[in-house]
Amino acid sequence: MNTNLKFIDFCAGIGGGRLGLENSGLQCVGFSEIDKNAEKTYRHFFGEEEKNYGDLTKINPNDLPDFDLMIAGFPCQTFSVIGQRKGMTDHRGQIIFSLTKIMNAKKLPYFILENVKGLLNHDDGQSLKVILDELDRAGYKVFWKLTSSLYHGVPQMRERIYFVGIRKDLVKNEKEFEYPKTVKMPELKHYLIDTDELEFNEKKIAYETFLKYLENKYNKGLFSINDMLKEDFLVIDTRQSDLRLYRGRVPTLRTGRHGILYVRDGKFRRLSGYESLLLQGFPKNLSNKIKGKIADIYLLSQAGNAMTVNAVEAFGKSLINFINQQI
């Protein structure tokens, strides 16, 4: 297997994409991230010596080292169903053009990009068409697929589009890219393991709000606290109106979603930032580095904005297999 490929982690967040590619045998030679809180977490994970190239829209490609692959979970707010859906008219939607500028300047062989499911139907599919046309003009054969993190080794219902690009002159015999195979979903109980005091009960001010929430016009008479507390690892998602229950999996972790509860040992608990990292595929040894050092409100948001490590690793290994078949 070819393990000499180098990559740069663009729109890096806290490094989920980087971890996935490192697990695939690739070497990171820098990252690009403008969120200072995310950068702080990233450095806790990977060290203070890492080179941050900053705002990718202002990067001079000549200032970048040579590398073979770009990984980028480029901004999803403009395409997401929970965003304002401004699409390509929002400056954040222009990130794709900054990425292709770097691709062309570096004559980059490969890339892996990730975006939200909402991109599929945004502007009746025009936003997706613009992106695919731009990548085609940049000289890449692009394979893309909507998949869920559930199929790649974590119990999280996270649907994302993954784009794999290979420079056209590197594709021989019209070879098709083989997408990662589905793997068995692990048990949720191995992820909801935080030992910190995160019980959610009458001692918490928000608990009264939770009780009133159960009695609103959408939920009244539908749920019994006693019944819920009998079911260990029952996941409870307190949305704006209706409450939703999940078994064996958690709903998509998102930047603004902090209201996920679950039952353990007959008690309600809040999903913690540490547990959110585990649900995104970050290993325990790395997640333990950050525990207690970054406030949960930030860590929950950062985990919700991250790429799922397992999914990127799966696509990374599939790309390496493709490359090796071309050699």
Annotated active-site residue in 76, 119, 263, 294: 76
| 76 tagged catalytic | yes
- Asked whether the CA dihedral 68, 304, 47, 59 is positive or negative, the reply is positive
Residue type, 51: K
CA distance to 71, 255, 285, 290, per residue, from 28 (Å) = 10, 25, 19, 21
**Are the beta carbons of 79 and 96 closer than 8 angstroms?**
no
Give the C-alpha separation, 243 to 31, whole Å: 39
Check: CB of residue 85 under 8 Å from CB of residue 78: yes
* Rounded Cα distance, 146 and 162, in Å: 6
Phi and psi at residue 121, in whole multiples of 5°?
A: -110, 5
Question: In the chain, count of helices (H) and strands (E)?
Answer: 10, 12
Go through the chain and tell me how many residues it has.
327
Q: Which residues are catalytic?
A: 76
